[in-house]
Amino acid sequence: MFGFIKVCAVTPRIKVADVQFNKAQIIECIERAEGAQLVVFPELSLSGYTCGDLFNQSALISGVEEALSDICAATKNCGALVFVGAPIVYAQRLFNCAVAISKGRILGVVPKSYIPDYGEFYERRHFSSGLGIADEITLCGSTVPFGTDIVFRAENIPDFSVAAEICEDLWVPSNPSVRHAAAGANIIVNLSCSDEIVGKAEYRRELVRMQSAKLVCGYVYCDAGDGESTTDMAFAGHNLICENGSLLSESKLFENGAVCADIDVEMLASERRRMSAAYFAGEKAGDYRVVGFTACEGGELTREFSPTPFVPRSDEKLKERTELILSIQAAGLKKRMEHTGAKTAVIGVSGGLDSALALLVTRRVFDAMKRPAADIIAVTMPGFGTTGKTYNNSVKLINCLGATFKSVDITGSVLKHFEDIGHDRQILDVTYENAQARTRTLILMDIANKTGGLVIGTGDLSELALGWATYNGDHMSMYGVNCSVPKTLVRHLVAYEAANLGGETEEVLRDILATEISPELLPPDKSGNIAQKTEDIVGPYILHDFFLYYSVRRGFSPEKVRYIARRTFKDKFDEATIDKWLKNFYRRFFAQQFKRSCVPDGVKVGSVSLSPRGDWRMPSDASAALWLSALDD
């Protein structure tokens, strides 16, 4: 469903050279992997990898072919694509092969390309290289493709295409999987028997993960384990499933069994198209043979999605990643300040999250430039909707950071403007709101002119996506430090800086974090509290950032975004609420593109940017009908 393919890497317990025992174990594992659409077993799993000179025995080789026939017979009703490792004779030579089986028939045989010739069990003594072979072989009574030029492609699931390489093939400089990916394979399987020594697991994990990133593919690495001979080596069954640089699943060392994951081949295909390169499914595609098969329906999706995909994951690199984001923001602004020779930085500080982050980043810049914080002119501009809490927090934060405090009450100016344009101040409409936002921008721009400074924009990526900004009001600045930082990440960055700075600064930042998000353009309620709450109007930012990431960054269809959102937020929002805000997201995203088409410069910090000069190009009058109708269906 939606391009998710359930894959399993299975390490059965085997006995060296006991083909009948190994066959039974493999069949049992296939039966237990019900719901899997791709099942991979280790290298030479049918015979055992550590057979040594027993590979020269005709009894072993004929026994392997008989066992393959039995596996085919046992899997006639199994719709999974299965890869089994086996020694196969071709042209009077022996090859270390991956045998692909589906619905009771052998689809093709892929020989190992690179044969190691070191160690106690060096393979060159027994096996030949399959590099460059593109032929046919008769096996188990059928003539099937044999060679390293095969892609197995599901005829009923777009983008489910698989190719195989074997152990050493991954460790050499010129990997077969590079050619496989160029020929259109979205998933690479590796049947391996990798001995375990100190430090090798870490290297292997990174090798597999980075290969999946380099090839923009799913990579299923299946390793031999308990049952192989330990005469001189031990085998840990280190199974790994990666997707485009992410580790989806990993087995524990020295524990035979299966690891499973859902690989998103639809997403992988989208990523490859996004690269706008002729590499994938390009010139190599014509050199490959495509073997079709009918894939079974996958089992229940078990994959989980982070509800905050823009926020660094809580691991040992969390601090490092957060510091990097703030450093990128600061580096962009620092360069602009130096290039323009600006004497000051002018920021409108509202007591909200975005302006707090912009002020924190600007303070970092002035520290790096060894310039006094007093050259940061922080302006509060109270108006009709400003509450005591936000105003006081603005003042406290400005003083804590050592910036120059300036307060300009906009009430009189806006009332005069209403008089000039003939607007009734009792009508709390968009004119009432936007007149305040534009007045504030005018003030900031003129203060910057007066002091030889730059106006630092505070608007964030989530607001750009939704068009939640006043055109030529808070929409405009001279450099937008937050322009590619979504709201959920803004919150995280402010919390991080609060913990770093401590003391009174941390206290005021914590209070800002606890404040309702609001533009404060409408009067407070009777108790003096914020009445205009942004998330009541446009929807929860945690949902919108989720929608933004998977629709823009991943290119998911509206139906797929809805599907994973319902799964991810099932304990927080009901389906009707998710559907309501998802439709609102698409409506606003399309309708508000004209604002994004003319945004100020601002540095990109992550994988999503809506700058018309960078990652996102979209006509301002594009229609959302197709996306909205998909959700109606």
The tokens of 364 are what? 């970092």
* CA 588 and chain centroid, separation: 24
User: What crossing angle do the helices spanning 388-401 and 353-368 adopt, rounded to 10°?
Assistant: 10
Burial status of residue 489 (CB atoms within 10 A of its CB: 0-12, 13-18, 19 or more): buried
300 catalytic, yes or no?
A: no
Q: What is the rounded distance in angstroms from the CA atom of residue 532 to the CA atom of residue 264?
A: 40
| 3-class secondary-structure state, position 45 | coil
Q: Which two tokens stand for residue 380?
A: 């509060």
Q: Which of 167, 242, 260, 296 is catalytic?
A: 167
CA distance 372 to 52: 74
Cα distance from N-terminal residue to C-terminal residue, the chain: 17
Out of 112, 284, 334, 560, pick the active-site residue.
Answer: 112
SS3 446: helix
The answer to whether 15 and 50 are in contact (CB under 8 A) is no
Please provide the DSSP assignment of 198-210 as one string. TTHHHHHHHHHHH
The answer to whether the beta carbons of residues 337 and 454 sit under 8 Å apart is yes
CA dihedral 400, 405, 409, 413 (to 10 degrees): -140
- Identify whether the C-beta of residue 581 lies closer than 8 Å to the C-beta of residue 551: no
Q: Which of 43, 165, 266, 520 is catalytic?
A: 43
Q: Identify whether 43 is a catalytic site residue.
A: yes
305, 564 contact by CB (below 8 A) = yes
Q: How far apart are CA 568 and CA 227, in angstroms?
A: 40
Beta-strand pair 142-147/134-139: antiparallel
Instruction: Report how far residue 190's alpha carbon sits from residue 202's, in angstroms, rounded to the nearest whole number.
Output: 17
- CB-neighbour burial class of residue 253 (10 A; exposed 0-12, middle 13-18, buried 19+): middle
Contacts of 378 by beta carbon, 8 Å cutoff, 6+ apart? 347, 349, 359, 394, 398, 401, 403, 404, 405, 406
Q: Tell me whether residue 112 is one of the annotated catalytic residues.
A: yes
Beta carbons within 8 Å of 477's beta carbon, 6+ residues apart: 441, 444, 455, 456, 457, 458, 459, 600
Which residue has tokens 């009948």? 20
Q: Residues with catalytic annotation?
A: 43, 112, 167
